[in-house]
Amino acid sequence: MHSSLRVATCLAAVTFAAVVLTPVQAAVRPPKLQYQITTLPNGLRVILSEDHSTPIVHVSVTYHVGSKNERAGRTGFAHLFEHMMFQGSKNASGEYFAFAEKAGANVREGGVNGTTSPDRTNYFATVPSGNLETLLWLESDRLATLIDVTTQEKLDNQRDVVKNERRQGLENQPYGRWYPLMNEAVFPKGHPYSWPVIGSMEDLSAASLDDVKEFFRKYYTPNNLSLAIAGDFEPAAARALVEKYFGDLPPGPALDRPSKWVPTLENEKVVEVNDRVSLERVFIGWPAPQYFAPGEAAMDLTARILSDGLSSRLTRALVYDKQLATNVSAFNISGEIADLFVVDATARPGTPLTQIEQVITEEIARLAKEGPTDAELNRVKAKQESEFISGLERIGGFGGRKMKRFQGDSSRNSAGRLNGVRIGIDTEYLVTLPQKVHKIASAAAAGVEHPHARGDAPAQELVKQVNVNTAELLAKINHGSERFT
């Protein structure tokens, strides 16, 4: 069977229009989140959001380092170090989870954890409000002393854990390799998003103890850290505790940040990869504007118009009307220096992927030419705002207020215009040529041995790249030159 990845891009930028709110619109604006931001002399950024509705407090520390700060040959360090941070510090020897659990964090319910993305690494815990000081002490101690107790044994242990995560999540997961393959196709060699967050097996094996310590010294510093506290606390007391435990930590070196880089692809590309899947699946991707850039909010709304709900355009066309696919989804993966817009669909048995790709292309072209209806745009904006506001009701855990503070104001989506969405799709991101395509094929259908049965064949050996000219296919699309500011 086949899975397929299609990648497309644009050549220009679009300015997304803001909406002047009428009195009626202003009355239904999302509630304003109350918070305070201060910066300590050592550069540590402190965000406080007071909420006495429940007697809990949440602490989140976010380091401005992710996989995009790595370099070729040394990938996977940001995620590997996330694991190392839970191995205990000088004054809290043993696993961090044990100390957090004693302070009241519910480990089984996600009350303490960490995550890594291309752009940042964060650690969080939620405990009864009386244990805020304990959490702040734990966080400051591992920032100040973790490197002193980082050993080769701990590194080897967590390296093996991460390798197993890669096997489970990417290599032995049905369709699991689509994301790293898509990134390799969309983002050119050397682009900070061209490698996966988890890194390669070779780079993980090559990581030395000195490499890990150098990474820590460079990026795990107060001036590269934002500390958020949300929940039941008094701001003055919380600020005093932060200054007590973090104020005397020395700042690290000034850091160079990767520049914004939304790539321009010259040709369409098809990649076919053998895999054990029972149903064929197609993935189509486009580079898109980075987080908070003009046009980025339009891509969020476009994804919902295409696939969110039973009446969405692609779901209606592929799943119900033509019955070519069992499911379809569209989503915008936001990043600090570029976004990735993706549409994927799983084919019904016997349905050619090319037929599904054609329907997706036609529906996107129609949306680009005609724009969404008022009803469509109002529906997706309302749902976007509803989910955003609902997320603010949670104090911590995965998502919740501590994440929403960094994910921005929902007004950038509520300001969407019909033509702003249409132009973003048509002239900039999803339609404008040139494009690229990627494909993956089933080992069973191809009659070849599955690579993971041997464990020695890298994914790159399964990739077949074919340049495809799609100019004729989309030649009739109207590429308007309007701009809205």
Instruction: Say if residue 422's pLDDT is above 50.
Output: no
Radius of gyration of the chain (CA): 24
pLDDT value of residue 29? 61
Nearby residues of 307 by Cβ (< 8 Å), 6 or more positions away: 313, 314, 315, 328, 329, 330, 331, 343
Domains and CATH numbers, the chain: 2-17+261-468 (3.30.830.10), 43-246 (3.30.830.10)
Nearest-angstrom CA–CA distance, 341 and 32: 29
Respond yes or no on whether the N-terminal peptide bond of residue 128 is cis (omega within 30° of 0): no
Nearest-angstrom CA–CA distance, 344 and 364: 13
Name the nearest CA neighbour of 283 among 336, 331, 316. Answer: 331
pLDDT value of residue 196? 95
At 173-192, the pLDDT tens digits run: 888 889 999 999 899 999 99
Other CB atoms within 10 Å distance of the CB of residue 426: 26
pLDDT value of residue 401? 55
Of the pLDDT bands very low, low, confident and very high (cuts 50, 70, 90), residue 1 is low
pLDDT value of residue 137? 97
Least confident residue range of 222-231, 268-277, 318-327: 268-277
At 18-73, the pLDDT tens digits run: 333 334 444 456 566 778 999 999 999 999 999 998 999 999 999 999 999 999 88
Greatest mean pLDDT among 164-168, 422-426, 471-475 lies in 164-168
Nearest-angstrom CA–CA distance, 296 and 310: 24
pLDDT value of residue 318? 98
Instruction: Say if residue 345's pLDDT is above 60.
Output: yes
Report the chain's terminal Cα–Cα distance, integer Å: 46
Instruction: Say if residue 231's pLDDT is above 60.
Output: yes
Greatest mean pLDDT among 9-23, 338-352, 407-421 lies in 338-352
Of the pLDDT bands very low, low, confident and very high (cuts 50, 70, 90), residue 2 is low
pLDDT value of residue 466? 19
Q: 2-8 and 435-442: which strand pairing?
A: antiparallel
At 272-322, the pLDDT tens digits run: 777 788 889 999 889 999 988 888 888 999 999 999 999 999 999 999 999
Nearest-angstrom CA–CA distance, 154 and 83: 10
Nearest-angstrom CA–CA distance, 251 and 173: 41
Instruction: Say if residue 263's pLDDT is above 70.
Output: yes
pLDDT value of residue 312? 96
Question: What percent of the chain has a predicted confidence (pLDDT) above 70?
Answer: 75
> 0.85 exceeded by the pTM?
no
Comparing 149 with 267, which gets the higher pLDDT? 149
Q: Following CA atoms 468, 471, 473, 479 in sequence, which dihedral angle do they give, to the nearest 10 degrees?
A: 140
Which two three-digit tokens encode residue 149?
């107790």
At 350-396, the pLDDT tens digits run: 999 999 999 999 999 999 888 899 999 999 988 988 888 887 777 76
In the predicted model, what is the mean pLDDT of the chain? 79
Of the pLDDT bands very low, low, confident and very high (cuts 50, 70, 90), residue 109 is confident
pLDDT value of residue 461? 26
At 436-462, the pLDDT tens digits run: 344 443 333 333 333 322 233 322 222
Between the alpha carbon of residue 442 and those of residues 65, 166, 255, the distances in Å are 37, 20, 44
Of the pLDDT bands very low, low, confident and very high (cuts 50, 70, 90), residue 216 is very high
Give the H/E segment covering residue 436: strand 435-442
